Amino acid sequence: MKNKKPLFITLIALDVAITAFFFVIHIIMLINLQKTPEEREAIGGLIGWLMRQENNGFYLGLFVIPLFLLLAANVVGLVIYVRKTTKKEPVKVNDLTEEQREALRAELLKDLTGDAKPQEEAKPEDKETPAE
C-alpha cells in the first residue's frame, strides 16, 4: 500500500484534534460548574446547552466516555507500536549484500586463524608544502 504513511499521519492528526477538542470542552465545563445558575443561563452555544440539561447523560455520553475510550485506544496503540518497533530479528545471511558477506567472511577467517589484531588502513598524507 503506497499511501500508508500519509494515511497514518492523517489519522494521528485527526486523533490529536479530537482529543484536544474533548479536553477543551471538559476544561470549559469544569470552569463553568462553579458559576451560579443565573450565570449558567447566560452562557450560550454548546457549553450553555450542556449546562442547562437536567440530565448529565448527554455530556457523559457525548464527551466523557468517548474521551476515555480514545485515551485507552491511544495507550493500547502506543504499546503495540513500541513492541513492534523494538522487536529485533536476527540478520540472515541471505539478506546481506555480497560486499557484506565478503567482509564477514574475512572477519571470521581472521578470528579463526588468531590474527585478531585491529586492521589499520594506511591513509596517504600529503606532506608536501606548497611552494611559496
Q: 64 lies in a domain?
A: yes
pLDDT for the residue numbered 1: 63
Q: 28 lies in a domain?
A: yes
Chain position carrying cell 455530556: 59
Q: 26 lies in a domain?
A: yes
Q: How many domains does the chain have?
A: 1
pLDDT for the residue numbered 132: 47
Expressed as residue numbers, the domain containing 18 is: 11-86
Position 35, amino acid: K
pLDDT for the residue numbered 56: 77
- For the chain, residues with pLDDT lower than 50 are 120-123, 132
Q: What's the half-sphere exposure (Cβ side, CA atoms, 13 Å) at 124? A: 2
pLDDT for the residue numbered 131: 57
Alpha-carbon distance of 58 to 24, in angstroms, equals: 17
Q: Which long-range contacts (CB under 8 A, 24 or more apart) does 20-28 make?
A: 22/63, 22/66, 22/67, 22/70, 23/67, 25/63, 26/63, 26/64, 26/67
pLDDT for the residue numbered 13: 94
Chain centroid offset of residue 66 CA: 21
Q: 99 lies in a domain?
A: no
